[in-house]
Amino acid sequence: MLQDTFDRLFSGKTLKDRGTLCQLKNDFGHRNVTTDVMNSFNYADNFIRFVTEAHIVYLAMKLLGIDDFTSAPQAAADDSSKFLDELCDQIVQYIWLMPSIADVKDVAEFAAAQDDDRDAWCICGEGKSLFCI
């Protein structure tokens, strides 16, 4: 899967394009990352984690209205746990793509048409989960 990600998103042709994986690799010194993930797996894995975490921090800063790392959020920190929970919820809501109802229906119909033991896939224990249909 990591190789698929690199095949799709990592290209040496995008070195000068701002925000691309290739540009980020060079700007942040991830020199050991190559397009051949099997020969640089740990470096590639660390790099993808680095880029993902950076984008999440950037989104959090934008959601909080923070322009630089020395600024503090305007929200009151009376209940920091609640504040962090709400921020995390906003981040997940922003980046998580919900499947369409049509896709869920297709999966449910496919699962119902399968000739295997439905009970083995039951999550709820009452036959009410998606796989129990």
pLDDT, mean of residues 46-72: 88
From CA 60, how far away is CA 52, in angstroms rounded? Answer: 12
More confident of the two residues 108 and 15 = 108
How does DSSP classify residue 114? Answer: -
Q: Is the pLDDT of residue 80 over 70?
A: yes
From CA 42, how far away is CA 106, in angstroms rounded? Answer: 37
Between the alpha carbon of residue 16 and those of residues 13, 95, 129, the distances in Å are 8, 26, 48
| Residues 25-52 pLDDT 10s | 888 888 898 888 888 899 999 999 999 9
Q: What angle do CA 47, 53, 59 make, to 5 degrees?
A: 135
pLDDT number for residue 5: 83
pLDDT number for residue 122: 60
pLDDT number for residue 130: 55
Q: Name 133's Cβ contacts closer than 8 Å, sequence gap at least 6.
A: 108, 111, 112
| Residues 96-128 pLDDT 10s | 877 788 888 888 888 777 765 555 556 566 655
pLDDT number for residue 78: 65
Q: What is the share, in percent, of the chain residues with pLDDT greater than 90? A: 8
